[in-house]
Amino acid sequence: MAVVEVNPTSTARAIGSRRRRASRTFAIGAGLLLVITLACFLWPPLSGVSTTDFVGTPLQAPSVQHPFGTDNFGRDVFVRTMAGGRLDLVVAALGVTVPLIFGTFLGVVSGLAAGTVLDRVIMRIVDAILAFPFAILILALSVVIGPDWNLWVLPAGAPAILVALFVTSWSVYARIARGETLSIRQRDFVVAAQVTGLSRWTVVRRHLLPNVLPATFTYALSDVVLVIGVIASLPFLGAGVQPPTPEWGSIIYDGRSLLGQAPWVSLCPGLVVVATGIAVRLMGQGSRILSGGEDA
Amino acid sequence: MPDGSSARAPVLEVRGLRAGYGTAPDTIRDVSLSIEPGQIVGLVGESGCGKSTLAKVVLGLLRPREGDVLVDGRRWGDRSSRDPLRSCVQMVFQDPYASLNPKLTAAETVADSFRRWKGSSRRDALDEARRLLDRVGLPRTAIDARAERLSGGQCQRVGVARALACEPRLLVADEPTSSLDVSVQAQILNLLLELQEGMGMSMLLISHDLSVIRYMTSEAMVMSGGAVVEHGSTAAMLRQPRHPYTRTLVESIPGQVADWA
Amino acid sequence: MTSHLMESENSRMAQAEGKSERGRLLEVKDLNVTAGPLELVTSVDFQLRRGERLGLVGETGSGKSLTCRAVMGALERKGLSATGSVTFDGVDMARMAPAAKRKLLGREIGFVPQSSLNSLNPVMRVGRQLAEAVEHLGCPRRDVDARVRELLAAVELRDVERVLRAYPHQLSGGMRQRVMIALGIAGRPQLLVADEPTTALDVTVQRRLLTLLVELCDAEGMALLLVTHDLGVVQEVCDSVLVMYAGQAMESGPVKEVFARPSHPYTRALLAARPSSASAAGAGARLLGLPGRPPAPGTWDVGCRFAPRCELRVDACTAGSIDLRAEDDGHLLRCVHASGEGRSRHA
C-alpha cells in the first residue's frame, strides 16, 4: 500500500492540466450561474416593468422589447421569468444549503461514533428516508404539508417545498459524510494529529471536515439541479408555489395550453431552467475533479 | 525507577507486554525491551508479526492487556490528548503522502504541534514551524506549499518536523523510508541520525530492511508471530543469526551477494 | 501438458522466427513518450534477447514505468502518446492492427503489475478470475481447471483449493502477487513485463518471489523486463540493466559490469546511497545521499539532465546535448567524463 502507483512526478503535469481544465469548467459554470442570478435579481427592478403589468398585445412573439415575447394576458414573459427565478434560486439555495450543513454534521458525528447506538439510530433513519424514491417523496411531502401555508417573505407553497427538502435530503449528505469520515479518520494524518496531542475538536475541525466537505459539497451541486427540477415540476401536480407569484414551474405550466400558438411562453423559461441546470452541473463536474485530487 | 533520576532512566521500558485487539487479543505476547536516552533500537519482522501493535501501545493508542509500558519512567494515563506523556513519544509514518493532511501546508501542519505544546500564537507557531522545517532540510519553496504538492522525501521531512515540534523523548519510526527512492532514503536516514546525535533523541526504528537496520542501529530485535525471537547486538545478529527466521531474513536482503563496494 | 493453445503458439513462433533475427525478441528504438507538448521519455533504445532479463531502474518519475507501458502499447488510455519503434519478434508493433496487438498481449507478452489488490476483481473468486483468463487465452473448456491448477503449482502456491475459493482480499500480499504472476504467465508468453512486482512486500516474501520469477524464466525460456527502483533486486535477478534518469537512459550494460564499475555519476550515487554500502565502507561512515530531486518534465536542460545534482559537473555538461556512447567494456554511457573519472569519490 505504501509505494505510490506509477511515477507521480511525470504524470503530475498531466494531472495539472486536468486540474486546470477542471477549474475552467467550474469557472464557466459559476460565470453562467452568476449571469442568471444577476439577471433574476436586477432585471425586474431595473426594467420598471412589474410581473403583472400588461405591456402589450397578448401572445407577441419574442422581439427586442420583449425578448421572451408576451403571454396570453400580454405580460412580459422575460420579466416574469427573471422575477420567478428569484424564488427558484432562493428556495434551491436554502433547500440545498441547510440539508448540506445539517447532513454533513450528522454524518461526521455518526462516522466518529461508528458502532455506537447513536450511529445506528442515525443510519437507520437515513435508510428509512432513502428507501423512498427521493423526488417522489419530496413531491408527496410538499403536497401533504399543503400549498397554502406561507411563512415570512416566502409566498404560499414555498415553505412546504423547503420543509419537505429539509426533512428528506439531509440523509444523502449524512451518508456521504459518514463514509468519508470513516475512511479519513483512519488515515495516517489523523492518527498523527492524535499522536501530536491535538484535541478531538481540533482534529475534526482541521483534519476531518476539510476533507469531508468537498465530497458533500460536490453532491450538493448536483442536488441543486434536482431541487430546481422538483420545484418546477410541482405545479403540474397541483402543488408548489401558488399563483399569482410567478415561478419557473408555474410559468411553464401556465404556458402549456399555448404550446401550439405561442411556444415561447413555455419554452423560453424552460431554456433558462436548462441553462441554470447546465451551469450548476458544470460547477459540479469541475468540483468533483478538483476535490478528488490525483485519483479522480 | 530504582534510582529515581529520570535522566539516566531508560526512555522506554516495556516489560512482559501482552496486547491485541478484540478478535486477536494476543497479537503480541511477552515482549520486553528498553531504550536508553540517545539510543536507536531496531525492530524487524514481517507484516503481521505485531510490530505495529507494539508501536501503538508505545504511543499510547492501545492499552496493554498485561505488562508495563513506561515512557520516561511514567505509565500512560487516560491516553487522551491531554495526557502529559502525549508529547514524549512521537511517530514518523511509513506512507509519506498519507501521513500529511493534503489540505494543509507544510508549515501549518508543523505549526499545529507548536500551538498545542507551546501555546504559541498562530503567527509565532508558523514562524517557529518555518524555522524547524528549514532545519530538517525542507526547501524554502516547499515550506508554504500544500502537502499534496510535495515529493515523498519532502513529506517525510515534514513528518519528522511535526514530531520534533513536540520535543519528544522517543521517536517511533515505522518503516520511515520503505516507500522512498534509495537516494531519498539515504537523506532521511541521515536526518534521523543527525537528530539522534545532535539532540540525543531515542528512537524505535521499525523496518523490514536489514541493511537499514544495520546502518542505523547497534541493538535490534526480531519479532515473529507476535513474540521477540531474537534480541541483541545488530552486528552479531547479522553475522550469526541464531533463530531460523532471522537467518531467512538475513539471506533475503537483495544484493547481498554484491561485492562491488 | 500440450494444449491446443501450445500448438497454435508454436506454429506462430515458427512463423515469427523465420522473419526475425534469431535470438532478438524485443527491440525498442528511439522511444519517446509525450503528454501533449510535454516530453516524459526521451529517445530510449534497448533490446532484449530471448531469455534475457533486463532491469529498468531509476528514481520515481524517471520514466521507467512509462517506458514499459509504451512497450506494451498501453499508453493511449492515459492520454499519453509514444513515438519510435517497438519491434517484438520481428514485427513492428506500431503497424499491428489493434486486434492483433490485443492478441499479442497476454499470449506473447505477459504483464505483472505492482499492485495486485487494484488489479484483481475484488468481488470475484480468484479461481474464477484465473479460469476466465485461461479460457480467454483459448484453452478448451474441459482443460481450464487443469491449466489453472498447473499455473498455481507453477507459482508454488500451496493450499490450491483455498486460493481458488478465496476472494483477493482474503489472500496475503505475497500470495496475491503469486496469483498475478500466474496470470502473467498464463499465456506462456515469451516476454514477461513486471512493473515493481515485489515492492511493498516483506523482504523474505520478496526474495521468494524473485527466486520464483527467475526459475520461471529459466524453465519457460521467458525474457523478463523488470521495472524496479531497487538496485539490489536488479543485481540479483537481471542479466543487464538500464539506468534511467529524467526520461533518459543514462547508463546501460551487463549487470556485472555496471555494478562492478558504475560509470555514470548518477549510477554511482544511487549505489552509494544504499544503506548496505555504508556498512561496507566501515563503521560510522555516512551514506552519501543524493541532494535535490530529479527535475520535473518540462524543466529539462539541453545538456546533461543530471548536471544540477552532479558533483563532477563541468561546463561541457550543460553546453549541448550528450549522446549515449559505447565504452570499452560494453557499457553505454551518457556522460562527458570518461568512465573511470571521479569514481574513487563514490565507491
Convert the pLDDT of each residue in B53-70 to its tens digit: 899 899 888 888 888 898
Rg of chain A in Å (alpha carbons)? 23
Positive or negative CA dihedral for C41, C324, C317, C84? Answer: negative
Chain C residues with CB inside 8 Å of B260's CB? Answer: 259-260, 262, 271, 347
Number of domains in chain A: 1
Quick check: A1 pLDDT over 80? no
Structural domain count of chain C: 1
Position C148 in a domain: yes
For residue A5, being part of any structural domain is answered with no
Contact B93 A192 (CB under 8 A): yes
User: In terms of CA atoms, which chain A residue is nearest residue B59?
Assistant: A195
Query: Is the pLDDT reported for residue C15 higher than 60?
Result: no
Band (pLDDT 50/70/90 cuts) for residue C283 is low
Tell me, what CATH number does A164's domain have? 1.10.3720.10
- The pLDDT value recorded for residue A14 is 56
- A8 has a pLDDT exceeding 90: no
Whether C60 sits inside 8 A of A9 (CB atoms) is yes
Residue A2 lies in a domain: no
| Domain span holding position C156 | 119-188
Q: Do A9 and C297 touch (CB under 8 A)?
A: yes
Contacts of A19 in chain C (CB under 8 A): none
Contact call for residues B173 and B90 (beta carbons, < 8 A): no
Specify if A1 maps to a domain.
no
Give yes or no for residue C278 having a pLDDT over 70.
Answer: no
Task: Set out the domains of chain B in order of their start, with CATH numbers.
Answer: 12-260 (3.40.50.300)
Residue recorded with cell 513506561: B70
Is C296's CB within 8 Å of A11's CB?
Answer: no
User: Considering only CB atoms, which chain B residues are within 8 Å of A189?
Assistant: 98-101
A-chain CB neighbours of B78 within 8 Å are none
Which carries the bigger pLDDT value, residue C282 or residue C131? C131
Using CB atoms, which chains have 3+ pairs under 8 A with B? A, C
> If you average pLDDT over residues C254-261, what whole number do you get?
88
SS3 C340: coil
Q: Which grid cell sits at A152?
A: 415570512
Average pLDDT of chain B?
85
Q: Is the pLDDT of residue B105 over 50?
A: yes
In terms of CA atoms, which chain C residue is nearest residue A10? C61
User: Is residue C300 in some structural domain?
Assistant: no
Tell whether the model's pLDDT for residue C155 goes beyond 50: yes
Interface membership of A185 toward B (CB under 8 Å): no
C175 — pLDDT class (breaks 50, 70, 90): confident
CB contact under 8 A, A17 and C36: yes
φ/ψ of B247, rounded to 5, equals -60, -45
Q: Looking at chain C, which residue has its C-alpha nearest residue B152?
A: C60
Q: Would the pLDDT of B1 be above 70?
A: no
pLDDT at residue A2, as a whole number: 33
What is the per-residue pLDDT across B108-130, written as a single tens digit (0 to 9) for each?
Answer: 999 998 988 888 788 899 999 99
- Please name the residue of chain A whose CA is at the shortest distance from the CA of residue B60: A195
pLDDT at A32: 94
Confidence of residue B170 (pLDDT cuts 50, 70, 90): very high
Q: How far apart are CA C297 and CA C63, in angstroms?
A: 10
| Residue C59 within any structural domain of the chain | no
DSSP C296: P
Which residues span the domain enclosing A115? Answer: 16-290
Q: What H or E segment, with its residue span, contains residue B41?
A: strand B40-44
Interchain CB distance below 8 Å, A195 and B175: no
Q: Tell me, rounded to whole angstroms, the distance of Cα A161 from its chain centroid.
A: 13
Q: pLDDT tens digits, residue range A50-97?
A: 777 777 788 788 888 888 888 888 888 898 899 888 888 988 999 999
- φ/ψ of residue A122, rounded to 5: -60, -45
Global pTM exceeds 0.95: no
Q: Is the CB of A13 less than 8 angstroms away from the CB of C35?
A: yes
The band of C116, judged by pLDDT with boundaries at 50, 70 and 90, is low
- Asked if the ipTM is above 0.90, the reply is no
Give backbone dihedrals phi and psi of A156, rounded to 5 degrees, phi first: -55, 135
Cβ <8 Å between B186 and C293 = no
**Helix, strand or coil, per DSSP, at residue B167:** coil
pLDDT given at position A12: 52
| Whole-Å CA distances, C158 to A61, C152, C162, C179 | 80, 8, 9, 12
Q: Taken in order A169, A87, A163, A214, is the CA torsion positive or negative?
A: positive
